[in-house]
Structure 1
């Protein structure tokens, strides 16, 4: 029986119980907790350096009011990059290929940035809906367009992450299937296909890291407009 290529994106079940909660919590076990020792080991030092550099680059353009989001956005970045990377291993499930989960991250965080802007600086927040110097006849049209673009932002966040990871996983499975089929028929072509598969896997690792960074970076840009 031939299985669908999209079966890999279905939430795994064991005795009828969804295992997506396990897939979500397991990556946290891979990040070692800082110890109370004066001198850390190499892994903890590298982890601390990465978190510090990422946080510095992300929050350098923001003013003091946006620095309160450092903990939640840095944690979200580490979580997304862990889940995306673990999803490339065999017999694993990538929760971030589910649009519902990505929208669950995107909508509340985007809405929080909008509400912060409306509470702290309502004039500037509403001013984003109408560019300065707009001709009077175009004012209603531009307000409608800017409002639609504002509400499309969380959808774009969730769809971007889902589409990139889904496309990469599908392409890897298609090329891997082709390599297995061609191996007994044309070994030379199968080896070339395997080389392409290896290069694509490296590219997908980079995509998994970049998409996690882009997701959090766009959230920080939305926050920058409202603080």
Structure 2
């Protein structure tokens, strides 16, 4: 039986129980927490410095009321980075290649920013649907277009994360399969494929971190419009 390239994205089961539940809970066990030690170790100090720097840069353009979201946005980024990087390990599963999970993250957070804007500044939030100085004849069309673009935002968040991770994993599998098959018949070509695979793995690690950052950055931009 020939396996499909997309079989790696199916949710694995153990005794009929989907292992995605275990995969999602792993990041909370991996991320270091603050200990009772008076002087923390170097790794926890580096992690704390990185989180403070990221939070400061993320919250810089947002008004003061939006700073309440700092902890949640930072937690989402750490969560996504952990899931993306853990999925690159052998014999593991990447939950963020599932569109349903990414949409479950994108839709509630996007909806929360929209509801926040409608509650605190309804006039400004509704004003985004109609640019100032629009001709009268174009008002209905522009309102419909802006409304559609508003509701497309969470879909774009989820699809972007899913597509980038899925494409990277497919390329890694294709190149690794090529290197394995050509090892005996064309060793030099297999060597070049292996080198390409190593470079692609480094690139995929960068993509895993960048996509988590982009996901949170876009959420912060949506929040900026509504606070």
Shorter-chain TM-score: what band?
over 0.9
SS in 2 for 1:190: helix
Partner deviation per Cα, 1:172-226 (whole Å, 9 max, x = no partner)? 0001000101110100000001111111111100000000000000000000000
Look up the match of 1:21: 21
Look up the match of 2:76: 76
Q: CA deviation at 1:132?
A: 1.0
Q: Does 1:54 align with 2:51?
A: no
SS in 2 for 1:38: coil
Partner deviation per Cα, 1:116-165 (whole Å, 9 max, x = no partner)? 00000000000000111111111111111000000000000000000000
Partner deviation per Cα, 1:44-103 (whole Å, 9 max, x = no partner)? 101101110111111111111101111111100000000000100110000000000000
Gaps of 5+ in 2: none
SS in 2 for 1:34: coil
Look up the match of 2:4: 4
Look up the match of 1:188: 188
Look up the match of 1:145: 145
Divergent runs of 4+, >4 A: none
Q: What is the CA–CA distance in structure 1 between the aligned matches of 2:159 and 2:152, rounded to whole Å? A: 10
SS in 1 for 2:141: helix
TM-score (norm 1): 0.98
- The alignment's C-alpha RMSD in Å is 0.7
Look up the match of 2:102: 102
Look up the match of 2:201: 201
Q: What is the CA–CA distance in structure 2 between the aligned matches of 1:31 and 1:113, rounded to whole Å? A: 27
Q: What is the CA–CA distance in structure 2 between the aligned matches of 1:147 and 1:33, rounded to whole Å? A: 42
SS in 2 for 1:168: helix
Q: What is the CA–CA distance in structure 1 between the aligned matches of 2:122 and 2:202, rounded to whole Å? A: 45
SS in 2 for 1:185: coil
Look up the match of 1:165: 165
SS in 1 for 2:35: coil
Look up the match of 1:127: 127
Q: What is the CA–CA distance in structure 2 between the aligned matches of 1:28 and 1:112, rounded to whole Å? A: 23
Look up the match of 1:213: 213
Q: What is the CA–CA distance in structure 2 between the aligned matches of 1:36 and 1:221, rounded to whole Å? A: 36
Q: What is the CA–CA distance in structure 2 between the aligned matches of 1:150 and 1:15, rounded to whole Å? A: 42
Q: What is the CA–CA distance in structure 1 between the aligned matches of 2:99 and 2:110, rounded to whole Å? A: 16
Q: What is the CA–CA distance in structure 1 between the aligned matches of 2:191 and 2:2, rounded to whole Å? A: 24
SS in 2 for 1:183: coil
